[in-house]
Amino acid sequence: MSGVEVQRCAGPARLRWAVLVPGAASVAFGVSLVASAGNPVLGWTVLGALALCALIAVVAWRPVVGTYLYVSTVCLVAGIDRDTLIPLLRPNEALLAVVLIGAAVGGWYRFLGGARSPVSFTRVDLALAWFLLFSTVWPVTSVLVRGAWPTPLDVASLLPVCKLVALYLLVRATVLTERQSALLVRLMVRSGAVVALIALLQTLHAGPVIAVLHRFYAPDESAGEVGDRGGATLGSPLSTGDVVVIALVLLLCCHRRALLGRRESLVLGIVLCAGVPAAGEFSTWIAAVVALGLLLWRMPELRRPALRATPLVAVAAVVGAPAFLRRVGEFSGSGVPESWLGRWDNLSNFFLPRLDLTHIVLGVAPNPVLNAPETWREVIYLESGYLYFLWIGGIPLLVAFVRLSVEVLRAVRRDRLGPGAAGGCASALEILWWVLLVLTVLDPHLTVRGTGDLLFPLLALARGQSRDRQPA
Model confidence pLDDT, tens digit, residues 422-431: 899 999 999 9
Question: How buried is residue 244: exposed, middle or buried, by Cβ count under 10 Å (0-12/13-18/19+)?
Answer: buried
Is 121 within the bounds of a domain? no
Q: Report d(CA 126, CA 121) in Å as an integer.
A: 8
Examine residue 70 and state whether it is found in any structural domain, yes or no: yes
Q: What integer pLDDT is reported at residue 389 of this predicted model?
A: 96
- Provide the number of structural domains found in the chain: 3
Same domain? For 170 and 182 the reply is: no
At residue 332, the pLDDT reads 61
> Are residues 233 and 138 part of one domain?
no
Residues 187 and 313 in one domain: yes
Tell me, yes or no, whether 271 and 394 share the same domain. no
Rounded Cα gap, residues 414 and 50, in angstroms: 46
Long-range contact pairs involving 299-307 (C-beta distance under 8 Å, separation at least 24): 299/252, 299/253, 299/256, 299/427, 301/256, 302/252, 302/256
Inside any domain, residue 341: no
* Res. 240: pLDDT tops 50: yes
Overall size of the chain counted in residues: 472
Model pLDDT, residue 85: 85
Question: How confident is the model over 42-51, as a mean pLDDT?
Answer: 71
Mean pLDDT is highest, among 335-349, 390-404, 406-420, for 390-404
Per-residue pLDDT, 41: 62
What is the model's pLDDT at position 342? 85
* Spatial CB neighbours of 76, under 8 Å, sequence gap ≥ 6: 191, 194, 195, 233
- 399 and 465 share a domain? yes
For residue 331, give the 3-state DSSP assignment: strand
Confidence of residue 200 (pLDDT cuts 50, 70, 90): very high
Q: What is the pLDDT of residue 33?
A: 52
Residue 338 placed within a domain: no
**pLDDT tier at 305, thresholds 50, 70, 90:** confident
Q: Provide the whole-model pTM.
A: 0.89
Q: What is the pLDDT of residue 140?
A: 94
**Do 197 and 265 belong to one domain?**
yes
pLDDT (average), residues 413-440: 91
Mean pLDDT value across residues 369-379:
87
Distances (CA, A) of 313 to 242, 269, 278: 18, 9, 13
Instruction: Look at residue 124 and tell me if it is in a domain.
Output: no
The predicted model gives 231-246 an average pLDDT of 94
What average pLDDT does the segment 293-299 reach? 91
Average pLDDT value for the chain: 85
pLDDT given for residue 334 in this prediction? 65
Domain residues for the domain of 467 are: 134-174+346-472
Would you say residue 394 lies in a domain?
Answer: yes
- Same structural domain, 59 and 101: yes
**Are residues 407 and 276 located together in one domain of the fold?**
no
Answer with the residue of higher pLDDT: 382 or 6: 382
94 versus 323: the higher-pLDDT residue is: 94
Mean pLDDT score, 233-257: 93
Would you tell me how many other CB atoms lie within 10 Å of the CB of residue 115? 15
Per-residue pLDDT, averaged over 119-124, amounts to 81
What confidence category does residue 3 fall into, taking pLDDT thresholds of 50, 70 and 90?
very low
Asked which of 273, 296, 329 is the last residue of a domain, the reply is 329
Query: Do 186 and 312 have their domain in common?
Result: yes
Cross-strand partners of 89 = 86
364 and 269 share one domain: no
- Residue 264's contacts (CB-CB under 8 Å, 6 or more residues apart) are none
H or E element at residue 277 = helix 262-278
In this structure, are 195 and 320 located in the same domain? yes
pLDDT value of position 222: 80
For the segment 4-16, the average pLDDT, to the nearest whole number, is 46
User: Which residues lie below 8 Å from residue 161, measured CB to CB, with a gap of 6+?
Assistant: 131, 132, 135, 136, 447
Task: Look at residue 290 and tell me whether its pLDDT is greater than 70.
Answer: yes
Residue 142 pLDDT class (50, 70, 90 cuts): very high
Residues 321, 192, single domain; the answer is yes
Task: Say which residue, 208 or 340, is predicted with more confidence.
Answer: 208
CB neighbour class for 386 (10 Å; exposed up to 12, middle 13-18, buried from 19): middle
Question: What pLDDT shows up at residue 291?
Answer: 95
- Asked whether residue 402 is domain-assigned, the answer is yes
CA-to-CA distance for 270 and 179, rounded, in angstroms? 26
Question: Would you say residue 339 lies in a domain?
Answer: no
What does the pLDDT read at residue 9? 45
Residues paired with 122 in a beta bridge: 471
In percent, the amount of the chain with pLDDT more than 70 equals: 86
Q: Identify the band that residue 174 occupies on the pLDDT scale cut at 50, 70 and 90.
A: very high
Residue 15, pLDDT above cutoff 80: no
- How many whole angstroms separate alpha carbon 192 and alpha carbon 199? 11
